[in-house]
Amino acid sequence: MTTPIRVAVIGAGMAGQAHAFGYRNAMMSVSTPISVELVAIADPNLPLAQSVAARYGFAEAIGDIDALLERDDIDAISVALPNFLHAEVLPKVIASGKHVFAEKPIGRTVEEASSLQELADASDAVTGVGFSFRRLPGLAALAAAIADGRIGEVHTVRGWYNADYAADPAGALSWRYSQEQSGGGALLDIGSHAIDAVQFVAGQISRVDNTTLRTVIAERPVPSAGAIGHGASASNERGPVTNDDIALLSVSFHNGAVGQISLSRIAQGVPNALGVEVFGTRGHASFNSINSGEFVLFEDGLTDAAYNGPRHIVTGPAHPYFTDVAAMPGGGVGTGYAEAFTAEIQEFLRCVAAGTEMDTDFAAASAMMNVVGAALEASKTGTAVDVA
C-alpha cells in the first residue's frame, strides 16, 4: 500500500475549493496508485476555511498561514490566493521545503514570475502550476495528434477564452478588476489559460505583433466585506476598473506559424469556454471546452475525397487522463472542467511520489507571463514586441 501524501491548501476561495476538490478525488486514479491524507485548509477567513474543510473532508481549518508552514505533518501544499499575494506567500512556502502546487499565475508581472521561478528552480521539492485545461483529455489528445505530425506543419493558430463572469455591471469591484492587484484583466485572468493552451498545442510564441485592450465596464460597486467570487454588490460606493475586459492579440511562433488569441470576460451568454484551432499543411484540429468530451481532427488524404472530412472524436480510455478521472472507464461518459482539476492534482501527486518535475512547472508559468508582458508592452507602444 502506498504511503499517503499529506496535503494542505492555502486559500479557501474559488480556486482553493477547486484544488480541494482535486485532492478529494485524486485517489480515483487506477493507472498509478495514489494515497492522500487531507490535513488542513488555511485561510485568514477562518469561517470560510472551516466550511471548505468540512465540505471536502480535510481534518482541520486554520487561519494562520505561517503556522501551517512550520508543521512537520504536511508534505505538500497548494497555494490558491489572489494574484497580489503570491509574491508574498509563495517564497515562504518554497522556503519551507514542502512540495508546492500553485494556482496560475505565479505573479502579476514578468519580474515576479521570473523571481519565483528562480526560487522554484533552486528547490529540491516538486513545484508545479495549475494550468488545468492541459489535463482535459480532448485538449491533451489534440496536442498529441499535432505533435505526431497528423496535420503536417502548423501555419495558423487561433485561441480563445470567452467568459461572462464580468458581464454584469453590478459585479463587485474585486481585486480582479485592479491592474495593480491582478497584473491584468481578461489578458491574465483567463488569458493565462488560453496562452498556455496555445503554446501547449502549437509551440512557443516568439513575438506579440499587436495587442488591443478594451475596458467596457469602467466602474463597479465596491464589494462587501469577506465577499468571494464574482457576485453582485448592492453598495452605493463605486470605484474604477483599471484593467481590460477584452484583449485581442496577434502573435508569431518560433516555428513560423502566425496566430490570434481573443479573450473576453464580458461575453454575454458564454459562461466559460476555452478553445484552440490549428491549421497545418495536411489538416486541421480544434477543441472547445464547452464540448470538452470531444475534439475535431481532419487529416488530408485519409480516405477518398467523397468521404473525407473533419472527424468529431469522442474521448475515451485511449486518451490522456481519461481513465483516472472519468466516472466510468468507457468512452462517451464525459469529462469536463471538474475532472481537469482532479487530473492536475493527480499529476502533481505522481511527481511528488516519484520525485520528478511537472510539465506545468514554474518555468511554464514564466513562459506564459512573458507573453502577457509582451502583450502589455505592445498595447502601450503600438509596436511588435519580442517575447523574452
- Judge whether 216 lies within some domain: yes
Task: Give the pLDDT of residue 373.
Answer: 98
Is the domain of 18 the same as that of 144? no
Is the domain of 286 the same as that of 271? yes
Are the C-beta atoms of residues 283 and 300 closer than 8 Å to each other?
Answer: yes
Is the domain of 253 the same as that of 323? yes
- Judge whether 106 lies within some domain: yes
Task: Give the pLDDT of residue 230.
Answer: 76
Task: Give the pLDDT of residue 224.
Answer: 75
Task: Give the pLDDT of residue 1.
Answer: 56
**Which residue type is seen at 203?**
G
- Judge whether 302 lies within some domain: yes
| Three-class secondary structure assignment of the chain | CCCCEEEEEECCCHHHHHHHHHHHHHHHCCCCCCCEEEEEEECCCHHHHHHHHHHHCCCEEECCHHHHHCCCCCCEEEECCCHHHHHHHHHHHHHCCCEEEEECCCCCCHHHHHHHHHHHHHCCCCEEEECHHHHCHHHHHHHHHHHCCCCCCEEEEEEEEEECCCCCCCECCCHHHCHHHHCCCHHHHCHHHHHHHHHHHHCCEEEEEEEEEECCCCEEECCCCCCCCCCECCCCCEEECCCCCEEEEEEEECCCCEEEEEEECCCCCCCEEEEEEEEECCEEEEEEHHHCCEEEEEECCCCCCCCCCCEEEECCCCCCCHHHHCCCCCCCCCCCHHHHHHHHHHHHHHHHHHCCCCCCCHHHHHHHHHHHHHHHHHHHHCCCEECC
> What is the total count of domains within the chain?
2
C-alpha span between 262 and 331 (Å, rounded): 31
C-alpha span between 377 and 208 (Å, rounded): 9
Kindly tell me the sign of the dihedral angle through the C-alpha atoms of 38, 43, 46, 48: negative
Is the domain of 126 the same as that of 141? no
Q: Last residue of a domain, which of 86, 116, 132?
A: 132
Is the domain of 103 the same as that of 237? no
Is the domain of 252 the same as that of 305? yes
Q: Last residue of a domain, which of 132, 155, 189?
A: 132
- Judge whether 347 lies within some domain: no
Cβ neighbour number for residue 215 with a 10 Å cutoff: 18
C-alpha span between 330 and 314 (Å, rounded): 11
Are the C-beta atoms of residues 378 and 384 closer than 8 Å to each other?
Answer: yes
The helix-helix angle for 14-25 and 337-354 (nearest 10°) equals 60
Mean pLDDT by 10 residues, the chain (388 residues): 91 96 96 96 96 98 95 97 96 98 96 97 97 97 98 98 96 95 98 98 98 98 74 83 98 98 98 97 97 96 88 96 93 90 98 96 97 98 97
Is the domain of 101 the same as that of 156? no
Task: Give the pLDDT of residue 302.
Answer: 86
Task: Give the pLDDT of residue 227.
Answer: 62
CATH code for the domain of 113? 3.40.50.720
Is the domain of 94 the same as that of 147? no
CATH code for the domain of 195? 3.30.360.10
Is the domain of 165 the same as that of 233? yes
C-alpha span between 86 and 117 (Å, rounded): 12
Is the domain of 254 the same as that of 292? yes
Is the domain of 199 the same as that of 329? yes
Are the C-beta atoms of residues 217 and 164 closer than 8 Å to each other?
Answer: no
- Judge whether 251 lies within some domain: yes
Q: Last residue of a domain, which of 79, 110, 132?
A: 132
Is the domain of 213 the same as that of 298? yes
Residue 244 phi, psi dihedral angles, 5° rounding? -90, 140
Q: Residue 43 belongs to what domain range?
A: 5-132
Residues in the chain: 388
Burial 279-300 (b: 16+ CB within 10 A, else e): bbeebbbbbbbebbbbbbbbbe
C-alpha span between 241 and 170 (Å, rounded): 12
